[in-house]
Chain A
Amino acid sequence: MIRLIAKEIRQLQPIAYLWFAILVFGYGIQFFTERVDENTFGDWCEGYCDYSANTAVAVFIILLALVTAYSLFPREHDESTIDLLRALPVSRKSIFIAKVFAAWLILVGFNFVSYGLDVLLLASNPESMGGKFYPQVWLTLLLRDCLFIFIVLSHGVLLSWFRTLGLIIYFIYLLLLVLAESYLGTSGDWSVFALLANEYRGSTLLVNTQGLLIHTVVAFGLLLLAYRLWDKTESGNTNSRSVSRSLRFVQVVIGVFGVLSLSGAMLYQIEKGTGSDSPGVTVKVVATEHYRFAYNVSKEDVVDYLVLHAEDDLAELAELMGVDELPRIRVDLTAQSEHAAGLAKWKKIQIDLDSFEDDISQRRVLVHEAAHVLQAIESNRSLAENYPAVKFFIEGMAQHLSFDVVPETLRRESNWTLASVAMARQGISFGDMIDAQGFAQSYDADLHYSLGDMWVEALVKTCGSLASSDFVRATGREDAPRGLPAALFWRDTMRAIDCDLDTVNVAWRGSLESRYQQIDESTFPVFTQISTQVVESTGQLKISASLAAFDSAPSTAAASVDVAGYATPGRFSIRIGNASTQIAAGTDAVFRGKLVQDQSGERVEFLIPAGALPSTRFRYQMGYLPTVGSRYYYESWRRGTVPSASES
């Protein structure tokens, strides 16, 4: 067997040279642009050992393993050198095992060299606190990679039997994962990406053992199937590929039946249409000078109200933004989406007319989305390129303009109150606002709307009514430097419109703090004494907390709050962070809580089905409706652990 493996390794030398060239290329860049003694352990594995999965690295390893797998069998069969092996006094099983093992050995070797080099680099920086080394994490990552390589290699060995059709099969597998994430919020352990998801208990890296076990068993199954298929396959030159006439007939039938059934399914899918799910609803169209509305007949009354005000509101919006030339905008009012009341992309708007009861709110949503359209045009899409840094501004400005054009004072006041409480209690700074992803990881992402609205209010007060629109235009200016870090981008663009960022921030914080002083503390209690337990009978996770008045220095006995006012159902809400593998957005699961009485008094209790928890470690965010009609106020995200049976 050793000889066979040695021979396979020699045969895979070109591939090994290619991977080694990539390794040298990668480290070459690092050595030319970084000091080797600068890396701390956290820097070294940044991105790869963070929480949740890293899709980019997974895709890189998958490509490596598939290219290597595809160079094992197809060529040997096409050039018939497999016959030389089959003529030797050695079993076919050992030929197959030797090939797969040799490929795995090369990739594992490549992995060991890479991880080994990293250890040397990390060892050369002992002084700093960051110089600490975490052998358990390092070794777990290394071994997990080796197993992951074996798993994907087994996929490749089977797919290579299908030759290029195998690529489409794997593409469809990835698409099904995306579909599962869109439908179910997560594709669970069936996604290869979930195998590289990281969770920690302290500094110990936890491994998705269940997922790895499933995939390892599947891998051996696929290898067995691949062995059978390759064993049955003759070498290239005996042109034994001439299939019998009956088999060819079967293939033709499958082909024709497949094309017809898929086309039929597709036409059925299209007939169900998009936008409106309810069959039999006719879609009508009404156009004004700048708008074209498509809507369900059942919504005629609210659409009439919208159409009545559309042009005037647009004109007022254009005036507020200093825009002269208005585009022609298409509005789809038939959409239903639980994620957003309205969406805008370039010159198209989509609004869900069921998201608000009262018509005036729908009218304001139209103005909000129209503001997005004008933002995109005025900035020549530059705003979208710096999206993480300006998301709060994009939403805040649209919110600010929409409330100016279509005043809804009560709703706006309620939003601003929520924002000031969140700012004061959760310590949100301008630095947090300009990092959209980090913000969403720590706080309630919807706060971008209200905090953004107040920020634009401060901007307009400091630098004039057209300041926000000037900022939009400044991002698209000809000589704007590209690819700046968020903080620099803001300072550079604000300088371009002659407006001082720090002055605006001072005004912004001032208005939030003064508003916070006026709120009624009892309407904004805090969750304390948070406990997590597993309900034996149902397997659900029970997260419960008591409500206490917020006190800047929480003493041991927090003053309890009269929770009677909170008895209304749906008042409490909890979000469970999904373990999306980043190939599809996925959505966080939301559950309502209820008030219960236990020995320590009134408590809020949330019951979470086990299926909604991505793993034993999860992220959650608790919130409540401060007043009837307002949005939910969410505290910042926290990390939780499902207690093991002994603990709960």
Chain B
Amino acid sequence: MIGLSDNPSVVQSQSASPVLRLNEVQKSFGTLKVLDGLSLDVYPGEVFGFLGRNGAGKSTAIRLLMGITQADAGQISLFGQPLKSDLIRIRQKIGYVAQDQNMYPWMTPTVLSKFVRGFYPTWDEKRYQQLLADFQLPLKRRIGTFSGGMKAKLALTLALSSRPQLLILDEPTAGMDPVARREFLDLVREQTMNDGATTFFSTHLIDEIEAIADRIAIVESGKTVYDGALDPLRESIKSWSVPMSHFTPGDMPGEFVNRSLKILKQGERQGRWVVTLQFEQNTLIPNDRVLNEQWQHEPMSLEDVFIAVVANN
């Protein structure tokens, strides 16, 4: 587990109790163990990115959060209360956008709102109509005739119209074109800013996380492999390469004797030997202090960082 949690830049909101806490949550389907001791905290006002590969257990975690599925072990608490204590009152404060929008094809947006609003004391019909207009969604057409993107926008509209304190989005932009996706992300950021709501955003698309998340957790094989801000993560992982002709096994870009580091990944790529190292969080170094001359620094995008972290686990 990469502990970057004491990064000063995101301290200000952590003194309040977490809106959402998963502690050592376990879940398996028959012989398939999907969550193996997942733990994370989300604090009020945050946009928390929940990053992980397909099949890492993201959707299952979210279904546990929503009480759609029951956990095998571990504790889940929302708004400071155990999930099981008062599931209905907790859910009244949550806006949920599922991965595949399974809404009733025979309903129209109008009928859907008539059905759903009775369950949310904080339902705001004016906002619902406004969002539908913003998204240019037809009021009277059956949902069965909507495209994937339209369904996703309708789901978000539904989630936001109850003025939730916690917005849970499970890969909401799957299947959207880049323009629709950008529009969606802007809307999420804008709405959560206005409401001050906490957003728990699950995705496997790194650029979405960069665009929106304050803090992230990376989950792999049912466990959290990183939980903290983006920049510290990005800073702590560097990559260097040297031509194969100048490489002898065991070579390192430099002697970092007095710093604890971890080789995340190394191997040959396009005629060069590439080494990715991860440094302890509190000894960040500027990327230009390379000791051996043949080695050159390889710039790393967040995606490269994510792949390195995940591949290592």
Residues of A within 8 A of B (CB): 2-3, 6-7, 10-11, 13, 79-81, 83-84, 86-91, 234-235, 237-238, 240, 242-247
Contact = CB atoms under 8 A, between A and B. Distances in A.
Interface in B20-54: 29-32
Nearest to B69: A234
B27 to A, nearest CB: 10
A488 B296 CA distance: 111
B68 A240 contact: no
B48 to A, nearest CB: 19
A254 B118 CA distance: 47
Contacts, number: 72
B30 A242 contact: yes
B31 A244 contact: yes
A88 B111 CA distance: 16
A86 B64 CA distance: 11
Nearest to A88: B119
B91 A237 contact: no
Interface in B122-157: none
Nearest to A2: B118
B66 interface: yes
A570 B207 CA distance: 98
Contact of B106 (A11, A80, A91, A247): A11
Given A81-B102, A245-B31, A88 B116 contact: yes
Interface string B101-119: 0111010000100111011
B273 interface: no
A221 B87 CA distance: 26
Interface in B151-204: none
A242 B32 CA distance: 8
Contacts of A79: 102
Contact of B103 (A11, A81, A244): A81
A466 B238 CA distance: 115
B89 interface: yes
B100 A80 contact: yes
Contact of A3 (B63, B87, B96, B119): B119
A86 B102 contact: no
Contacts of A6: 115
A81 B98 CA distance: 11
A242 B96 CA distance: 26
B102 A80 contact: yes
A24 to B, nearest CB: 23
Contacts of B114: 3
Given A238-B63, A242-B29, A87 B98 contact: yes
Given A11-B106, A81-B103, A91-B87, A247 B30 contact: yes
8 contacts: A6-B115, A81-B104, A84-B98, A84-B102, A87-B98, A89-B90, A90-B119, A91-B88
A89 B118 contact: no
A243 B28 CA distance: 11
A11 B91 contact: no
B88 A89 contact: yes
A-B residue pairs, 4 tightest by C-beta: A244-B30, A89-B91, A80-B102, A244-B31
B79 interface: no
Interface of B: 29-32, 59-60, 63, 66-69, 87-92, 94, 96, 98, 100, 102-104, 106, 111, 114-116, 118-120
Nearest to B60: A238
Given A84-B104, A87-B66, A90-B119, A240 B98 contact: no
B62 to A, nearest CB: 10
Nearest to A79: B102
Contacts of A2: 118
B29 A10 contact: no
A245 B120 CA distance: 42
B30 A243 contact: yes
Contacts of B92: 89
A509 B96 CA distance: 88
B68 A87 contact: yes
Contacts of B111: 10
Contact of B88 (A3, A90, A242): A90
Contact of B89 (A89, A237, A240, A244): A89
Contact of B100 (A87, A234, A237): A237
Nearest to A86: B68
Contact of A83 (B29, B90, B91, B98): B98
B115 A3 contact: yes
Contacts of B106: 10-11, 13
Nearest to B100: A237
Nearest to A1: B118
A11 B30 contact: no
Contacts of A87: 66, 68, 91, 96, 98
A71 to B, nearest CB: 13
Contacts of A90: 88, 119
A133 B304 CA distance: 85
Given A83-B102, A89-B89, A240 B29 contact: yes
Contacts of B91: 87-89
Nearest to B159: A87
A367 B299 CA distance: 108
A238 B29 CA distance: 10
Contacts of A243: 30
A244 B91 CA distance: 32
A628 B92 CA distance: 87
B67 A3 contact: no
A237 B102 contact: yes
B104 A11 contact: yes
Nearest to A94: B88
A3 B102 contact: no
Contacts of B116: 88
A79 B102 CA distance: 7
A42 B87 CA distance: 56
A253 B210 CA distance: 53
A81 B30 CA distance: 23
B102 A235 contact: yes
Contacts of B98: 83-84, 87
B67 A86 contact: yes
Given A84-B103, A238-B63, A89 B32 contact: no
Contacts of A247: 30
Given A84-B98, A240-B29, A242-B32, 10 more contacts: A83-B98, A84-B104, A86-B66, A87-B98, A88-B119, A89-B88, A89-B89, A237-B102, A238-B63, A245-B30
Nearest to B158: A84
A249 to B, nearest CB: 11
B68 A83 contact: yes
A647 to B, nearest CB: 56
A89 B120 contact: yes
Contacts of A234: 69
A102 to B, nearest CB: 13
Contacts of A88: 91, 116, 119
A89 B89 CA distance: 7
A469 B118 CA distance: 79
Residue from B30, B66, B90, B103 whose CB has the most chain A CB atoms within 10 Å: B30
A24 B46 CA distance: 60
Contacts of B69: 234, 238
From A3, A6, A86, A88, name the one whose CB has the most chain B CB atoms within 10 angstroms: A88
Contacts of A7: 104, 115
A88 B60 CA distance: 17
Contacts of B120: 89
A234 B60 CA distance: 11
A451 B88 CA distance: 77
Nearest to A234: B69
Contacts of B118: 2-3
B252 to A, nearest CB: 45
A89 B103 CA distance: 16
A382 B68 CA distance: 65
Nearest to B103: A84
Contacts of A235: 102
A2 B60 CA distance: 31
Contacts of B31: 244-246
Contacts of A84: 98, 102-104
